[in-house]
Amino acid sequence: MPLDFPFLYETLTTLLGGIPLTLQLALLSMVAGTFLAFGLALMRVSGNWWLDCPAQFYIFVFRGTPLLVQVYIIYYGLSQFPSLRHSVLWPFLREAYWCAIIALALNTAAYSAEIIRGGLLSVPAGQVEAARACGMSKLLLFRRIVLPLALRQMLPAYSNEIILMVKSTALASTITLMEITGIAAKLISESYRPVEVFVCAGATYLAINFFVARLFAGIETLMSPERRNLPASTSEKQEECHV
Amino acid sequence: MRLKSILAAAFVLASAGTTLADEKVVTIATEGAYAPWNFSGPNGTLEGFEIDLAKVLCERMKVKCEIMAQNWDGIIPSLTAKKYDAIMAGMSVTPKREEVIAFSTPYAAGINTFAAPADGPLADMPGTGESYSLDSQADEAKKRIDEIAALLKGKAVGVQGSTTASAFMEAYFKDAADIRQYKSTEEHNLDLVSGRVDAVLANATVLAEALTKPDMQGVKMSGPLFSGGVFGVIAVGLRKEDTALKAQFDEAIKSAIADGTVKELSLKWFKVDVSPRG
């Protein structure tokens, strides 16, 4: 198949129009999902059965069912109840935009909660004990010791989750939203050239996720001051090797 | 002795293989979500006008047919990728599609109209109950379309993506209405009932069937029945290189139209005769 560059260019520029919506969906659902995840993670590590159990159940349900099914249940399922259509929630749930954000947020909350819990549990007991010995209050200890260490630990897993979320926004196209994949589907229906259009759509997601990955790599370096001396120490080692 | 029996068995198998190959199998893809043209029945098997017609055509072509369901989105790319040999899925012949695949002689005409909630402002759009051909009555049809466009200003209209219905909306109502594309007609009907869209545009036969369902009680057809133009005619989609298969389909369809089989099946499934005229 010969490459049709004018068509590829036209496709790519049309797809760029879908980036703002894709980013909005990803960003808003990430923010809402992370708040929810933080609450869930605290419930999980609370040690209180009445808090831990509901959080566990939530995570079990949202991790165990496909995101597409969740999107459909929230968009097509909820609208089947007349009582909901007459409730104050309907102006929100009427819009595919909010349904997509709700579904994505609820889904990412389940995954992120476990990432945050893992981060919290990874904080060495010795550090907590030392802080306690210094007389820190529970809140101060959490803010100064536990949270910074946990954040650093969970960052790689969390950047994974964000990249997954950016890709998951593609499912919003199934409920009429014209984000990158929605526009791609429309272009295919007009041109019947799925290969070129999907390659362009894939390249667009790749570009977005390249920046997401770079951003998190940057944050990781920022949060690990001890590692910033790494190049110097490796060069020292190299010198040693030369000797 | 043992070698002999193995050889004999191999021979039997080989000859069985050739007899199987003689009976040609044609796989036909349909959507399975476009009642009453094609849909999954209560027990999961495919049913509908096109399923019945496909059986008739295969009998006349003297081939064994397998009918399978395929998502509308990828139905043309999968044909060119040889996942199956033919498409019978209420597919209209359009110049864009003809660039990629070949079509048999038509077996039905495409007739489309709007549907809207009976108690809403779009319940009785101009021309309700009238029929217009976008080819032979272009001017009258355009007049009705302009009247409807004024009514649809700022309203959300659902259509199934990659269809002649969406092509029609994009061509005539792009600036007037907020056109929302759905994966299937069933999905836009759900959103019409829940009030997310103010109207839908779809094949009249499909809408007529959908309106018989209890959930759709509050919905009625509105505006004229449009045919011709972008809606064109409905035919079997085939790969361009399969000219022999096309000739077989053409002959079978012509004979089924000539002896009234298409009309009979059309009346059975649609209550109206959609067999192509002229």
Summarised one tens digit per residue, pLDDT across range A201-212 is 999 999 999 999
Q: pLDDT of B120-148, one tens digit each?
A: 999 999 988 888 888 888 899 999 999 99
Check: CB of residue A161 under 8 Å from CB of residue A115.
yes
Q: Is B255 exposed, middle or buried (0-12, 13-18, 19+ CB in 10 A)?
A: middle
The average confidence (pLDDT) of chain A is 90
Q: pLDDT of B227-257, one tens digit each?
A: 888 888 999 999 999 999 999 999 999 999 9
Preceding amide of A156 cis, omega within 30: no
The alpha helices in B30-108, defined as continuous H runs, are 49-61, 75-80, 95-100
Mean pLDDT of A95-105: 96
Judging contacts by C-beta atoms under 8 Å, the chain A residues touching residue B181 are 176, 178, 182, 185-186
Interface of B with A in 57-96 (CB under 8 A): 73-74, 76-77, 96
Residue A105 located in a structural domain: yes
Task: Give me the number of domains chain A comprises.
Answer: 1
Q: Does B18 touch chain A if contact means CB atoms closer than 8 Å?
A: no
Mean pLDDT of A136-163: 92
Sorting pLDDT into bands at 50, 70 and 90, what band is A223?
confident
Instruction: Evaluate the CA torsion angle A68, A69, A74, A75 in order and state its sign.
Output: positive
pLDDT higher than 80, residue B23: no
* Architecture category of domain B111-231 in CATH: 3-Layer(aba) Sandwich (3.40)
Tally the C-alpha atoms within 13 A of residue B205's C-alpha that lie toward its C-beta: 25
Q: Does A85 touch chain B if contact means CB atoms closer than 8 Å?
A: yes
Contact flag A186-B97 (C-beta cutoff 8 Å):
no
pLDDT higher than 70, residue B12: no
Q: List residues bridging with B116 in a β-sheet.
A: B220
Check: CB of residue B55 under 8 Å from CB of residue B256.
no
A123 C-beta neighbours (distance < 10 Å), count: 18
Residue A142 located in a structural domain: yes
Residue A164 located in a structural domain: yes
**Most confidently modeled of A16-25, A86-95, B91-100, B175-184?**
A16-25
What is the distance in angstroms between the Cα of B175 and the nearest Cα belonging to chain A? 17
Residue A229 located in a structural domain: yes
Q: Does A190 touch chain B if contact means CB atoms closer than 8 Å?
A: yes
Sorting pLDDT into bands at 50, 70 and 90, what band is B95?
confident
Contact flag B96-A192 (C-beta cutoff 8 Å):
yes
Contact flag B100-A76 (C-beta cutoff 8 Å):
no
Q: Side chain identity at A179, as an amino acid letter? A: E
Q: Does B181 touch chain A if contact means CB atoms closer than 8 Å?
A: yes
pLDDT higher than 60, residue A235: no
Residue A57 located in a structural domain: yes
B102 C-beta neighbours (distance < 10 Å), count: 20
B186 C-beta neighbours (distance < 10 Å), count: 17
Domain ranges of chain B: 2-109+233-270, 111-231
- Give the chain A residue whose CA is nearest to the CA of B162: A189
Residue A208 located in a structural domain: no
Judging contacts by C-beta atoms under 8 Å, the chain B residues touching residue A76 are 187, 190-191
Check: CB of residue B28 under 8 Å from CB of residue B57.
no
Residue A7 located in a structural domain: no
Residue A117 located in a structural domain: yes
Contact flag A176-B73 (C-beta cutoff 8 Å):
no
- Give the chain B residue whose CA is nearest to the CA of A193: B77
* Architecture category of domain B2-109+233-270 in CATH: 3-Layer(aba) Sandwich (3.40)
Contact flag B194-A190 (C-beta cutoff 8 Å):
no
Structure tokens belonging to residue A120: 């919290």
Q: How far apart are CA A71 and CA A77, in angstroms?
A: 9
Of A19, A24, A18, A67, whose CA–CA distance to A178 is shortest?
A18
Q: pLDDT of A34-69, one tens digit each?
A: 999 999 999 999 999 999 999 999 999 999 999 999
Q: How far apart are CA B55 and CA A98, in angstroms?
A: 45
Count of CB contacts below 8 A, A vs B? 46
pLDDT higher than 70, residue B18: no
- CATH number at A130 reads 1.10.3720.10
- Same topology between domain B2-109+233-270 and domain B111-231: yes
Segments of B38-190 assigned E as strands: 38-40, 46-47, 64-69, 86-87, 102-103, 108-109, 111-117, 131-133, 156-160, 178-182
Domain ranges, residue A39: 19-177+220-242
